Every structure is written in C-alpha cells, then in structure tokens.
Amino acid sequence: MNQMATEASCIFCKIIKNEIPSFKLIETETVYSFLDIQPTTTGHLLVVPKYHGAKLHNIPDAYLKDILPVTKKLARTLGLDVDSPQGDGYNVLQNNGRIAHQEVDHVHFHLIPKCDSVTGLGVGWPAKQAEMKDLAALHEELVRKLDDK
C-alpha cells in the first residue's frame, strides 16, 4: 500500500499496517480482512480495501477488485455456502455516512452470518409500490447522467 493510500489517524489503516492488532483472515495486495471486534453474531467479519477512503465512491476500482472474491471465500470458510434458500444465510453490508450507520470512516464490507432471527443483521425495509411513470422518469434521468460519471 503506498503512502498516499493511508490516513495516520484511521483505525483500519493502523490495523492494515499492523500498528494495532487484529484477528486477520485473508490478506491480498489490495484487501485486508479480519474479525469484527463487536460482532452481531459469531463470525461477523470485515473486508477492507488497503486504500483509505471514507465512502465507496472514494475508492479506486483497483482496490475493489478483490473485495467480493475474498468475501465469497470467507463465506465458504464460515460454512455459509448453503445451496438452498433455507438454512443458514449471510448478509454483506457496506455503510456510507452516519445516517447510513457508518461509524468508521474507512470503507469496509461486513460479512454477517444470518443463522437465526435474532442475531446478525436486522433490516428495516420501508418498501412501497412505485408508480410506473415515476420509475420511467427516474430511469430516463439516470441513463442520461450515466455518461457523465
């Protein structure tokens, strides 16, 4: 990890640089993973890019390429590779901003086993049926903007 990619005061940068201890799992050139210190359930872990940035849009693509392969391997390692809709499951969660429940301002992906209705991630999901004309207008606007990003 080059100097530009780290932030001296960041707790996850310190973990990546081994300045403070962690229960490390997989490390690649661009990614570091370790057990969460305040797990919502056994096996709750974090996968972080070795690049300091607070939110997902701050991270260069090169530092994101290993995130899902590493997360997938860890899900298998935790025995969560159940090929059925029933049985143990898992959530992959990545929060951006205080209002979205982010506490550590270095991008991180939670891998959270979901083995019962109490432990692991609880989700609020205020879904409501959309009007097709509203979806169509939003779609048109976003497609127009896509080329600018």
Residues identified as active-site = 108
Structural contact between residues 114 and 131, judged by C-beta atoms closer than 8 angstroms: no
- Reference 39, options 120, 135, 149, 145; nearest CA is 120
79 conformational bin, left if phi > 0, alpha if psi -120 to 50, beta if neither = left
Q: How is residue 77 annotated by DSSP?
A: H
Structural contact between residues 121 and 43, judged by C-beta atoms closer than 8 angstroms: no
Is residue 98 within the footprint of ligand 5GP (CB under 6 A)? no
Angle, CA of 2, 22 and 108, to the nearest 5°:
60
In the list 38, 84, 117, 129, the residue contacting ligand 5GP (rule: CB under 6 A) is 38
- Nearer to ligand 5GP among residue 68 and residue 100 (C-beta): 100
Is residue 11 within the footprint of ligand 5GP (CB under 6 A)? yes
Is residue 104 within the footprint of ligand 5GP (CB under 6 A)? yes
In the list 50, 106, 108, 110, the residue contacting Zn ion (rule: CB under 5 A) is 106
How far is 2 from 79, CA to CA, in rounded Å? 34
CB of 63 to Zn ion, least distance (A): 11
In the list 8, 9, 83, 101, the residue contacting ligand 5GP (rule: CB under 6 A) is 101
* Contacts to Zn ion from residues 34-73, by CB under 5 A: 52
Residues at the interface with Zn ion (CB under 5 A): 7, 10, 12-13, 52, 106
Which residues contact ligand 5GP (rule: CB under 6 A)?
11, 22, 34-38, 95, 101-104
